[in-house]
Amino acid sequence: MRIAVIGAGGWGTALACLLDTAGHHVCTWVRREALYRQLRRTSKNQAYLPDIRLPKTLHFTTNLAEAVAGVELIVFAVPSHALRSMASQLSTVVTGTPLFVSTSKGIEEESLQTMSGVLRATLPEQFLHRIAVLSGPSFAVEVARGLPTAVTVAAQDQGLAKTVQDTFSAPTFRVYTTTDLIGVEVGGAVKNVIALAVGVSDGLGFGYNARAALITRGMAEVVRLAIRMGANPQTLSGLSGMGDLILTCTSDLSRNRTVGIRLGKGEKIEEIQQSMSTVAEGIRNCRSILALARCLAVEMPIVEQISALLYAGKQPKNVVADLLSRQVKPEFPQEEN
């Protein structure tokens, strides 16, 4: 299959490697000229995937029209806040009827739409039934190294999901399917904010008990929001829900947890962001998720406290203290009576 990968960060490059190794013809669109020259010259993406040698058969271009010419599948691997702009640019140059796979995780701040919602609002009408989402517990560097990974692909049409499953499946990359787009996307977006909270707790030295509590209660917030939006709760117990949450909240490779740790140790968010070359999606998505929760009257105290920490100057210790001092109640709502 001829495939275009839009975005040459760590995740886009890792997926391009995976798809190339699976036998597909892959062209990756690169935004920055300097990175494009490095990729062509060294066959390495040192900024995002240090010391990993990329396949010689990978193609790179800075020309969007060239990247998508004649392709059968387009993979979006850009930060969530950049997806609308990229989809809008791409819609003016794409030809044929390719499939579209979003790997971006987030809720758009302006519209409060999921990433598939952004694509449906941006792409031409003939493509609206050809959108899928790939999500799950997967660090780019491990995928690029060929380490075992399992993810989920979601599409409204089971046949489309199966096509994407077959395209991405590899000996070390197992892909499951679902038609629950909302569940998969909410799980992938909210887990980044919960990972920030876990990082804050870890940075404060609050221990494993507090970490387990935050992960578990964070999962409750994910489920509440997803169900209100029409998701199947079973989805959140799977790879794109609990699986992704556990990975992001417990690994030293997690950008969001790392940011949280630094916040817990007293660093300012502005200083942290200036020192990072990659995007921690939870920082921006905290506001959009909280806004969406308020619109839908969904209680999300962890997200609310992290928003106060990031955008209202609240102190890390007070964030955790306020979470612990909330009114006690039954763990499960059906037990309240």
Give yes or no for a contact between 115 and 106, defined as CB atoms under 8 angstroms apart.
Answer: yes
SS3 content of the chain, % helix, strand, coil (to 5): 55, 15, 35
Helix (H) or strand (E) holding 90: helix 83-91
* Burial (0-12, 13-18, 19+ Cβ within 10 Å), 301: middle
Residues classed as catalytic: 191
DSSP state of 246: H
Residue 59 makes CB contacts below 8 A (sequence gap 6+) with: 25, 26, 27, 28
Give yes or no for a contact between 161 and 154, defined as CB atoms under 8 angstroms apart.
Answer: yes
The closest alpha carbon to 46, from 57, 56, 35, belongs to 35
The closest alpha carbon to 101, from 163, 37, 191, belongs to 163
Which bin fits 329, alpha (ψ -120 to 50), beta or left (φ > 0)? beta
Identity of the residue numbered 234: Q
Give yes or no for a contact between 203 and 265, defined as CB atoms under 8 angstroms apart.
Answer: yes
Instruction: Cite the DSSP H helix spans in 169-232.
Output: 181-203, 207-228
How many other β-carbons are positioned within 10 Å of the β-carbon of residue 271? 10
Q: How far apart are CA 82 and CA 79, in angstroms?
A: 5
User: Burial letters for 188-209: b for 16+ Cβ neighbours within 10 Å, e otherwise?
Assistant: bbbbbbbbbbbbbbbbbebeee
